[in-house]
């Protein structure tokens, strides 16, 4: 079978050794079989507009001297509030026709992290993940306890029906028909129509600090309290101050192959660029059946993305450049 792998390094910067890296941010809104034929021009335009808005808002935090942590939080919150993406408002349906959301955030400077899994009534799970990181002594909270903590932190709570959308409900009906005979969750086909749109952001700020954030509704028709890679530090999200990664794709593979931390470890120990490491890891993942993509930033301010699917909603803004948003493998 033909293996598709699309990668791009958008800024390559040769800086004098003591010079500060430039600021920059990359975001994604999910990877999968996104073809031009399957989208109307109006839909394409709506995705580009929302990606551009989110990346610009994240960048403006950096431009004002804000932290990479605040920049990724701002960008992901915007994407969570849009019904276009499988996170926050646009979260997919579980088998039982409810919504269970996962998210995580990591601060590259301190390697502090916060994650939440299976939350049902928190409007912006990324804000809860951040509160876990900053206001609790824990890294990961799940289910009812996470929701209790959200209440104590006075985060905005919503009824689970807030996450209902017609097109995700249609996707659930199709998914249920297809999964009936499958023996276990890892065998689920990665059908983008079911769950496309996990969101994420990575950024580098004026002080050279990196951060990563990822948020998702998970996989359509998930059961039994299934938790994906998005809240698992090292799988769907990772940051130290050398390398930060946010992932999207078939979560079971991203957990088993520790995709986000593997990319950063290869960059560190094999002395290669994080962009090159990401390309390798995603090619290897494809070979074992794992579909998806990642966005990456490194300590030099190099912004990149790589995916082994037909498309990935994505955008970036590098210092001195304009926001660039793309959907398809060939660009645009």
Q: List Cα–Cα distances, 264 to 56, 205, 245, in angstroms.
A: 26, 18, 8
- Produce one character per residue of 114-130: b if its CB has 16 or more CB atoms within 10 Å, e if not: bbbbbbbbbbbbbbbbb
Residues 6 or more apart whose CB falls under 8 angstroms from that of 82 comprise 50, 88, 89, 90
Is residue 198 annotated as a catalytic residue, yes or no? yes
Cβ-based nearer residue to ligand ASP, 212 or 318: 212
| Alpha carbon distance 39, 263 (integer Å) | 32
Q: Does 255 show up as a binding residue in the annotation?
A: no
How far does the chain reach from its first CA to its final CA, in angstroms? 26
Cβ-based nearer residue to ligand ASP, 30 or 108: 30
Q: Does 208 show up as a binding residue in the annotation?
A: no
DSSP strand E in the chain: where?
6-9, 24-32, 101-107, 112-119, 140-142, 199-204, 210-216, 237-239, 243-249, 292-298, 303-307, 311-318, 324-328
Q: Does 30 show up as a binding residue in the annotation?
A: no
Cβ-based nearer residue to ligand ASP, 59 or 85: 85
Q: Does 290 show up as a binding residue in the annotation?
A: no
Closest CA to 285 of 328, 254, 264: 254
Residues 6 or more apart whose CB falls under 8 angstroms from that of 19 comprise none
Cβ-based nearer residue to ligand ASP, 310 or 319: 310
Structure tokens at 15: 């800086």
Indicate the SS3 state at residue 287. Answer: helix
If phi > 0 it is left, if psi is from -120 to 50 it is alpha, else beta; for residue 224 that is left
Cβ-based nearer residue to ligand ASP, 89 or 300: 89
Q: Does 299 show up as a binding residue in the annotation?
A: no
How many Cα atoms sit within 13 Å of 308 on the Cβ side? Answer: 23
Residues forming contacts to ligand ASP in the complex (CB under 6 A) are 30, 195, 198, 216, 218-219, 228-230, 236, 248-249, 251
Q: Does 248 show up as a binding residue in the annotation?
A: yes
Backbone angles phi, psi at 116, to 5 degrees: -135, 145
Of residues 73, 198, 214, 306, which has the active-site annotation? 198
Residues 6 or more apart whose CB falls under 8 angstroms from that of 247 comprise 200, 214, 229, 230, 235, 236, 237, 254, 259, 260, 292, 293, 294
- Residues annotated as catalytic are 198
User: Annotated binding residues, as ranges?
Assistant: 226-229, 248-251
Binding residues for substrate: 226-229, 248-251
């Amino acid at each position: 079978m033909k293996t598709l792998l699309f990668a791009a390094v958008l800024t390559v910067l040769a800086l004098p050794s003591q010079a500060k890296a430039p600021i920059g941010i990359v975001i994604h809104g999910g990877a999968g079989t996104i073809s031009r034929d399957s989208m109307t021009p109006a839909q394409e335009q709506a995705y580009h507009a929302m990606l551009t808005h989110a990346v610009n808002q994240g960048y403006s935090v950096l431009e004002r001297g804000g932290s990479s942590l605040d920049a990724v939080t701002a960008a992901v919150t915007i994407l969570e509030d849009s019904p276009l993406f499988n996170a926050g408002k646009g979260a997919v349906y579980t088998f039982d026709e409810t919504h269970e959301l996962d998210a995580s955030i990591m601060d590259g400077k301190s390697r502090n992290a916060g994650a939440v899994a299976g939350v049902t009534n928190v409007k912006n799970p990324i804000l809860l993940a951040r509160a876990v990181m900053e206001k609790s002594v824990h890294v990961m909270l799940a289910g009812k306890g996470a929701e209790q903590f959200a209440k104590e932190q006075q985060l905005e709570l919503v009824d689970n029906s807030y996450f209902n959308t017609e097109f995700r409900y249609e996707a659930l009906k199709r998914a249920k028909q297809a999964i009936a005979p499958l023996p276990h969750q890892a065998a689920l086909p990665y059908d983008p129509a079911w769950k496309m749109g996990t969101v994420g952001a990575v950024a580098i700020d004026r002080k050279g600090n990196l951060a990563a954030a990822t948020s998702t509704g998970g996989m359509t028709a998930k059961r039994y309290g299934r938790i994906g890679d998005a809240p698992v530090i090292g799988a769907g999200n990772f940051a130290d101050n050398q390398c930060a990664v946010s992932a999207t794709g078939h979560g079971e593979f991203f957990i088993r192959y520790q995709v986000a931390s593997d990319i950063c470890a290869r960059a560190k120990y094999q002395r290669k660029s994080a962009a090159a490491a990401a390309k390798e890891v995603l090619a290897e993942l494809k070979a074992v059946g794992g579909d998806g993509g990642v966005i990456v930033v490194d300590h030099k301010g190099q912004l990149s993305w790589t995916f082994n699917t037909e498309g990935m909603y994505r955008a970036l803004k590098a210092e001195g450049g304009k926001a660039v948003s793309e959907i398809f493998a060939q660009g645009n």
